[in-house]
Amino acid sequence: MAEGNLSGMQRMLRRHTSPELFAAMQRESRLWKTECPHCQTDTTDIWEIGGVRYKALGEPRNRIRCPRCNQNRWMRVHWTGGDPNALGPRPSVTPLVIKIVLITLLIPLAIVGAVLFFVLR
């Protein structure tokens, strides 16, 4: 996926993470492939279809359109990168998580506090 064709999630991550963390997310997401149950091929990596998998485990199934047979199917997402430890040290996502929590909790609380202040005044 070209830089101009990033999904909404990928654009949000690019804006709110460091360039090193974003590059690590992109590099690792490209090592996760989807497998179509109908045509039995590894179709594409998660990054190319607009997804992100970073420091992830397991093999989930996601409903994704297969570019080869052009049907929406429950595709298995699996790791193709070998040993995850071979990627070396990976940047922490803790600052991003803290930023998201602060935005989702503090902004609504500030709005409710301001409304209550003016109503109960």
Residues 6+ positions from 72 with CB-CB distance below 8 Å: 63, 64, 65, 66
Amino acid at 5: N
Tokens of 107: 């902004």
Q: Percent of the chain having pLDDT more than 90?
A: 20
Encode pLDDT of 44-72 as tens digits. 888 988 889 988 888 889 898 887 888 88
Angle ∠(40,75,61) on CA atoms, nearest 5: 140
Q: Beta-carbon neighbour count of residue 91 at 10 Å?
A: 18
Total-model pTM: 0.67
E strand or H helix at 64: strand 61-65
Q: How far apart are CA 64 and CA 29, in angstroms?
A: 16
What is the distance between the terminal CA atoms of the chain, rounded to a whole angstrom?
A: 53
**Residue 3 confidence class, pLDDT cut points 50, 70, 90:** low
